[in-house]
Amino acid sequence: MKAPVATAIAISVAVILLMGSFLPIPLLQDVLQPYLLACAVIVAGVATLIGIYNLLSVHLGKLNAPKAGNLYSLFLLLAFLVTFIAGLWFTPADAGFQRVVTHIQVPVETSLLAVLAISLTYTSLRLLKKRQDMMAWVFVVSTFVFLIATGGYIGLLLGDVPGLRGFSNFINSLPMAGARGILLGVGLGSLTTGLRIVFGADRPYSG
Amino acid sequence: MTTIDKLLGLVIVILGGLTMFLSALPSTSLRFTKKMRPRRKQVLRPLPAFQKLRRAIGLAIEDGRGVHLSLGKANILQANAASALSGLSTLGRLAQLSIVSDQPPIVTSGSGSLAILSQDTLQSAYRSGSAMAQYRPDLGRMTGPTSFSYVAGTMPIVHREKVYTNILIGNYGPEIALLCEAADRQGTFTIAASDALPAQAVLYATAQEPLIGEEMFAIPAYLKAGNFHRSSIQAQDLLRWVLIITLVVGAVLKLIESLLGSAIL
C-alpha cells in the first residue's frame, strides 16, 4: 500500500468526523471534531500560501520562457509585489488599503461579468445550431417560459384572471422540483465519493 | 438536524458503504471456495459523452497534445469538495493513461489545497508508472484564488499550451462559460460538469459535452479507475431507489394524513 501512515490518519479522521455528525457522543462532538476542524483550517491556510507560491513560480517560469504574451505574467508579478508590500506596510485591515484593492478588483471582475453576459447570450442563440435534439428545444422553450413566469409578467399582462395565481405558482414550483432532483443526485455522488475516501480506495494524498 | 434526520443520514451512509464494499468484493479477491464464481461483471450504461471523452484522450495522447483538467475552485473543507475529489480520481486515471504521451496533463485549480492534491496525485501516478522524469510540480497549478481570477488565469492555458482535450470537473459558477467559450474557439474537445446548479444550466448551453447531476461522479468509473468506482455507481443507484421510495411513501402518508384530518374535522 502506498503511504500507509497518511492513509491511516485520513481514514481515522474521516471516521471520527463522520461519527461525530451522527452520534451524540460529547467527546466526539465537543472535543475531537472542533479540534480536527481547527487543524484542517490551519492546514488549508498554509496550503493557500503554497498555492500562491505555486502561482508565482509558474509565472516566473513563463517570464523566462521564449514565448509571446509573457507580458501578462510580468504584470501579475508586479501587481502581486505591490499589493503584498502595501499589505505588509498598511496591514490588510487598513480602510484605505481595502478601498484601493476593491476599486481595482471590482471593476476588473465586473468587466469580466459583462463579457460573460454577452458570451452567454451569444451561446444561447447558437445552441439550436449546435444541438439539434429535442432536449435543446425543451431547454430553450422552458428558459423562455420560466423567464416570463418568474418575472411576474403573466399577472401584469393578464390581470386578475381566476385561477391564474395558482397556475403561476404551479409553474414557478416546477424548476424547484427539477433542481431538487438534480441536487439529490449530486448529494448521492458526494456521499459515495466521501465513502471512497473513508475506505481508502481514493487517496489523492499519497504522492 | 433532528434525531430522525441524523438517524436517516446514518442509515443511508451505512447502506451506501455496505453496498460499495460488498459489490467491490467478489470482483477483487475474496472467494472463499473454488466453487464461488465471481459475479457477472457490472456493465455501465453507455453514455455518448464518456465514449467521446475516451476517444479524445486517446487522440490527444497519439497526437502528442495535452489534456487540461480543471478542478474548479472548491474549498476542501466544505461540502462542495466532493466534486473536486471526483476530479482528482479522474486525474489519477488520466495520468496513468498519459504516461505514454510526450505531453503530460495540465491541472488547474482555484485553491491551494487542490493544487497540492493535484500535484500529489500526478506524482503518485508517475511514480507508479516508473515515469518520474515526466513529472514537474508546475503541472498542477493554482491559477487564481477567486472565481473570475481562476477563469482568467486558466484561459491562457486553454489558448496556448497545445491542449487537445479539456475536462472541467468541479465547483464553478456561471463564469465557467468563459472557459467553455475559449475552448470552443480553439476547436478542442470539452467535457464539463459542476455540482452547482447555475453552472450546470450554463454548461448545457456552452459545453460540447455537459454532464448533469451525478454523472460527474461517474467519470472515473467510465475511465476504468477501479472496482470501487464501479461499485460506488451501484451504491448510488441503490440509494437513489431508497430515496425515491422514501419520498413517495412520505408523500402518500402526508396525503392520507391531510385527507383523514379534513374528514375528522
Cross-strand bridge partners of residue B68: B106, B166
State whether A54 and B137 contact (CB < 8 Å): yes
CATH code: domain of residue B103: 3.40.50
Closest partner residue to A40 (CB to CB) among B77, B142, B226 is B77
Q: Where are the domains of chain A?
A: 1-90
Query: For residues B191 and B176, is the Cβ–Cβ distance under 8 A?
Result: no
Whether B148 maps to a domain, the answer reads yes
User: With contacts defined as CB-CB under 8 Å, which chain A residues touch B86?
Assistant: 189, 193
Whether B261 maps to a domain, the answer reads no
The label of the residue with cell 399577472 reads A155
Q: What is the pLDDT of residue A207?
A: 59
Nearest CA in chain A to B182: A119
Is B180 a residue whose pLDDT tops 50? yes
Number of domains chain B contains:
1
Identify from A29, A71, A188 which residue to disrupt to test chain B contact, counting B C-beta atoms within 10 A and taking the largest count. Answer: A188
Q: Which of A142-156, B1-15, B230-244 has the lowest mean pLDDT?
A: A142-156
State whether B112 and A109 contact (CB < 8 Å): no
Is B108 a residue whose pLDDT tops 90? yes
Rounded to an integer, the average pLDDT of B237-252 is 92
- Give how far Cα A122 sits from Cα of A149, B86, B151, B198, Å: 23, 31, 19, 17
State whether B127 and A202 contact (CB < 8 Å): no
Residues 6-35 of A with CB under 8 A from B: 18, 21-23
Q: Which of A110-119, B20-29, B246-255 has the lowest mean pLDDT?
A: B20-29
Query: Tens of pLDDT along B25-57?
Result: 765 544 445 555 555 566 788 888 899 998 999
Pairing state between β B66-72 and B106-109 = parallel
State whether A189 and B178 contact (CB < 8 Å): no
Helices (H) and strands (E) in chain B, counts: 9, 6
Closest partner residue to A47 (CB to CB) among B16, B112, B197 is B112
Residues 40-79 of A with CB under 8 A from B: 40-41, 43-44, 47-52, 54-55, 57-58, 61, 67, 69, 72
Residues 103-142 of A with CB under 8 A from B: 108-109, 112-113, 115-116, 119-120, 123-124, 127, 139
Eight-class DSSP state of A61? H
Q: What is the pLDDT of residue A98?
A: 92
CB contacts < 8 A (A, B): 200
Query: For residues B74 and B89, is the Cβ–Cβ distance under 8 A?
Result: no
- Give the helix/strand (H/E) hosting B169: strand B163-171
Q: How many CB atoms lie within 10 A of CB A102?
A: 10
Q: What is the pLDDT of residue A131?
A: 80
Per-residue pLDDT of chain A in tens (207 residues, 90 and over written 9): 677 888 899 999 999 998 888 888 888 888 999 999 999 999 999 999 999 999 999 999 888 877 666 788 899 999 999 999 999 999 989 999 999 989 988 999 899 999 999 988 888 888 888 887 888 888 888 888 888 877 777 767 766 777 777 777 787 788 888 899 999 999 999 999 999 999 888 888 875
pLDDT above 90 covers what percent of chain B?
Answer: 46
CA distance B104 to A200: 26
State whether B17 and A199 contact (CB < 8 Å): yes
Query: Tens of pLDDT along B115-162?
Result: 999 999 999 999 988 888 888 888 999 999 889 999 999 998 988 788
Domain range enclosing B63: 48-227
Eight-class DSSP state of A25? -
Query: For residues B182 and B196, is the Cβ–Cβ distance under 8 A?
Result: no
Give how far B249 is from chain A: nearest CA, Å. 16
Whether B238 maps to a domain, the answer reads no
Closest partner residue to B112 (CB to CB) among A23, A51, A183 is A51
Nearest CA in chain A to B178: A116
Is B250 a residue whose pLDDT tops 60? yes
Is B20 a residue whose pLDDT tops 70? yes
Q: What is the pLDDT of residue B30?
A: 47
Q: What is the pLDDT of residue B210?
A: 92
